[in-house]
Amino acid sequence: MAALRKIQSFVRRSGRLTLSQKRGLTELWADYSIETDKTIDFETVFGNDNPVVLEIGFGNGDTLVNMAQNNPQLNYVGVEVYEAGIGRLISSTHSNALKNLKVLKGDAVEFLEKIIAEDTLSGVQLFFPDPWHKKKHHKRRIIQHSFLNLLSEKLKNGAKFHLATDWENYAEHMMETLEENKNFKNTQCAHTYTPRPDFRPLSKFEKRGHRLGHGVWDLIFVNEKS
């Protein structure tokens, strides 16, 4: 498969790091990160053959840590470029003695292209990605057919792709693009969003949005290879 045209679908943010975040990025880094330019062997990384769920852009990591705590039968890999969020997640993972959560630092598309093998992921999560709300920036949105085709190769047949956004126009774009793509099928009726599942933890950001009356749209699609 040809490499995707490089689209910057995220913004690298920087800022001051707390001591715990710095510790996560230094002395704890080797225990919780995945660093390789070879295809990842998840059984070796986690020491078991449990299903692997990839989360793209986990932010501060609180909800991903919560999911790893609640689902010890699953292995989670979080991808993020934001150092403060990575440091916070690693520190929290260590504090909670979690063995089923690892981190990749960098661009998720590059990892999918280069080091994640086909038919290895049992699920992918994409919660509240940058909506690139200006029309002229819509081409920067990560949800495009080229990305979905790449993702389908890495997901096992029948694996689920779970998305959530608080930007209605992006939700509509997600729905339209996914339903047009031959590799994915809506778990609901056509053009129907998924009721917010209990297993997706509420983030502080989302709770604040609820107080302000903001909507949130969940979509869950199944990978059905043609």
Catalytic residue positions?
A: 130
Q: Is 130 annotated as a binding residue?
A: yes
Asked if residues 213 and 152 have their Cβ atoms less than 8 Å apart, the reply is no
Rg, C-alpha atoms of the chain: 17
Tokens found for residue 73: 């039968």
From residue 193, give the alpha-carbon distance in Å to each of 69, 126, 133, 219, 221.
27, 15, 20, 5, 10
Asked if residues 100 and 53 have their Cβ atoms less than 8 Å apart, the reply is no
Q: Is 55 annotated as a binding residue?
A: yes
DSSP state of 2: P
Q: Is 118 annotated as a binding residue?
A: no
Residues linked to residue 160 through DSSP beta bridges, in sequence order: 123, 222
Q: Is 160 annotated as a binding residue?
A: no
Number of other CB atoms surrounding residue 4 within 10 Å:
15
| Number of residues that this document lists for the chain | 226
Tokens found for residue 140: 């920067």
Asked if residues 158 and 222 have their Cβ atoms less than 8 Å apart, the reply is yes
Q: Is 218 annotated as a binding residue?
A: no
Residues linked to residue 222 through DSSP beta bridges, in sequence order: 160, 185
Known binding site for S-adenosyl-L-methionine: residues? 55, 80, 107, 130
Known binding site for substrate: residues? 134, 166
Known binding site: residues? 55, 80, 107, 130, 134, 166
